[in-house]
Amino acid sequence: MGDVKQNIHTDPTNQYRCTGGSRVNVVEFVVNTNPRLGSTIPPEVKRMGTVSVLPEFDGRVSAIRKLEDSPWLQNRRNQL
């Protein structure tokens, strides 16, 4: 988890943070911004503070669920 917002910093349903226009943040990433440590973050992401400016991160959220509930994790536990 990169960040947990207080309810006052989210939408009325406490699900996301508006970032301007039609953009909203549901997930936040912790990233390395130091080029000397290998950062490859595009300049527009640094400037805007969101990866949603990149086409590959544009889209709608289809589902949000806890990792504990994920079928992948359940299968992985069964294999151990």
pLDDT digits (tens, 9 = 90+) for 68-77: 667 777 777 7
Is position 28 within any domain? yes
Give the structural domain span for 73.
7-79
Is position 1 within any domain? no
Is position 24 within any domain? yes
**Burial of 63: CB neighbours in 10 Å, binned 0-12, 13-18, 19+:** exposed
Is position 52 within any domain? yes
Write out the chain's pLDDT in tens, 80 residues.
566 677 777 778 766 776 666 666 677 777 788 888 888 888 888 888 778 788 887 777 777 666 666 777 777 778 77
Query: Residue 15: which of 24, 69, 49, 29 has the closest Cα?
Result: 24
Is position 2 within any domain? no
pLDDT at 58: 74
Is position 11 within any domain? yes
Is position 46 within any domain? yes
Domain count, the chain: 1
Is position 72 within any domain? yes
